[in-house]
Amino acid sequence: VGSADDLAAGVLRGDTRAVARAITAVENGYAAARPLLATLFPHAGRGLVIGVTGPPGAGKSTLVDRLITRLRAQGKTVGIIAVDPTSPFTGGAILGDRIRMQAHATDEGVFIRSMATRGHLGGLAAATGHVLTVLSASGKDVVLVETVGVGQDEVEIVGTADVSLVVLVPGLGDEVQALKAGIMEIADVFVVNKADREGVDRVVAEIQSMLSLSHGPQPEIVPTVAASGQGIDEVLAAVERYVATARASGEMERRQRAQVRRLFEETLQERLVARARERALPEAELQRIVERLHGRELDPFAAAEEVLGRLGL
Ligand SMILES: Nc1nc2c(ncn2[C@@H]2O[C@H](COP(=O)(O)OP(=O)(O)O)[C@@H](O)[C@H]2O)c(=O)[nH]1
Ligand SMILES: [Mg+2]
């Protein structure tokens, strides 16, 4: 077993291989990663976390790629977490995208990691939170988190970033309405990508009319052509304005408290379930409960209370 301290020291130095190993440890389960995450945690929470979400094919990865280039030109180091099964980072997209990403992959100032959407202990959001801890502790100035804005988990992840970009495209029509309940309300900045296509004005108008119904700060709407790099500076400028305003109003503080609260609550849930299983629910006992549930002799609440009672809770 490699020393968690050595690995942590490597991460804190910003060593790319150490960062990769640390993230793998997180993904493989918390038993091994816990001491590491504990060491890294006091060093995390720095840098800016930018969430990028929107429907599949909207151009999120293309936009992220452009943002990386621009941020690197500003001398900033960048981490990327792609929680997206169709992302180029996970090999789901066209060859051109993948080649572009590889160009960044050889840059020591860039760390790209894709994450599976399934199979995380304690949930996807918690796993993403821990990976953010690693990247932040490694000193990345900006971390971009790309998720497909379709699942509740994915939306939630981006919703607790320091600033959330929602990427829409012309031609969605009624889908803008459908998306409203989920991703629309988390947008700090709207990006209307594929502005080289017809219908940009209509999307902008639809967003504006939707926003007119809500109180509070109005997100900026920025048209882009991510494919050619048009509008990328404007996106970053809008992000900077949002961040300045959010810092001044205390919104940024509030959100960062919400982030660590969520990370704690999810960690606690995961630990509680794990401990309950260890102490009061051996496999044979679980099977016995399942049999009684199946026979309708026991209801799920009573079963849960039984286990909690054994734990003295
Ligand atoms: N016409 C046009 N196509 C774009 C633009 N941005 C991205 N694309 C293309 O849209 C497709 C999906 O892009 P991708 O970044 O993988 O979308 P994602 O699923 O949201 O990450 C790719 O073929 C891109 O080349 C744009 O501004 N205009
Ligand atoms: Mg993508």
Summarised one tens digit per residue, pLDDT across range 49-68 is 999 988 888 999 999 999 99
Summarised one tens digit per residue, pLDDT across range 276-286 is 999 999 999 99
User: Is the pTM above the cut of 0.95?
Assistant: no
Summarised one tens digit per residue, pLDDT across range 151-168 is 677 777 876 799 999 999
Rounded CA separation 297/65 (Å) = 57
pLDDT at position 179 is 61
Rounded CA separation 44/131 (Å) = 10
Q: Is 121 in the pocket of ligand 1 (CB under 6 A)?
A: no
Alpha-carbon dihedral 87, 89, 91, 94, rounded to 10 degrees: 70
Of the listed ranges 81-90, 178-187, 220-229, the one predicted with least confidence: 81-90
Going by C-alpha positions, the residue among 239, 235, 223, 85 that lies closest to residue 154 is: 85
pLDDT at position 181 is 60
Q: Is 60 in the pocket of ligand 1 (CB under 6 A)?
A: yes
Residue 98 has pLDDT above 70, yes or no: no
Q: Is 164 in the pocket of ligand 1 (CB under 6 A)?
A: no
Q: Is 159 in the pocket of ligand 1 (CB under 6 A)?
A: no
Rounded CA separation 121/26 (Å) = 10
Q: Which residues of 248-263 are buried (b: 16+ CB within 10 A; e: fewer)?
A: eeebbeebeeebeebb
Rounded CA separation 167/145 (Å) = 13
Going by C-alpha positions, the residue among 154, 153, 147 that lies closest to residue 114 is: 147
Ligand with smallest separation from the Cα of 82:
2
pLDDT at position 270 is 84
